[in-house]
Amino acid sequence: MSRIAIIGGHGKVALHLARRLTASGHQVSSLFRNPEHTSDVEQTGADAVVADVENLSTEQLTELLNGADAVVWTAGAGGGSAERTYAVDRDAAIRSMDAAEAAGARRYVMVSYFGAGKNHGVPEDDSFYSYAEAKADADEHLKASNLEWTILGPSALTMDPGTGRIETGPGITGGQVSREDVAQVAAEVLDRPATIGRTIEFNNGPTPVAEALDSLA
């Protein structure tokens, strides 16, 4: 059994992930901002931790992550102002990585997006630009850290029921993937040391998740 902290614990991917991890016997702490969401998080079997990571210092985050074996970042500003996007998707994410290192939580899984990176190609006058820049900076910081990281690059997210099947690997282009399947991929990579140091982009597809991930080893 591992102790896993999910940051952004009330998000739809996070709720699916917490249910899956607790059902597998892991001890899960889900961090989320709004205390009104406590019952939703508790229903997943996770410990509910009200924490506004946008406004917590690295030291405060370290205290919250002490005792964790792994951290999964699923938080996001969810659009809106560019200022808040940088504050959450870049700055808070980077603080969480530094905090994970300080707390001894060696494993870190980042939920990013398909096509993320410094060469994202999003024009500056596009409303998505600040998010693309923030995620690129956060992903680069993670890659330069001493953490055992995996970056997930799901394509466009849907609310469809999970299929348990994806496509990944060289040559795929962006498509769609259900949030439930993103949660399954996140849970599966936590148990796969072969995914450490890998960026995994994926869509829904024909291959069972476990088989698709094993093919990357």
Domain ranges of the chain: 3-156
Q: What is the pLDDT of residue 212?
A: 97
As a whole-number percent, the residues of the chain with pLDDT over 70 amount to: 100
Residue 73: pLDDT band (50, 70, 90) is very high
pLDDT band at 80 (very low <50, low <70, confident <90, very high): confident
Q: Is the pTM of this model over 0.75?
A: yes
Confidence band of 189 (pLDDT split at 50, 70, 90): very high
Q: Which of 117, 54, 119 is nearest to 84 (CA)?
A: 54
pLDDT at 1: 72
When the pLDDT of each residue in the chain is averaged and rounded to a whole number, the result is 97
Mean pLDDT of 181-206: 97
Average pLDDT over every residue of 145-159: 98
- Quick one: fold of 3-156? Rossmann fold (3.40.50)
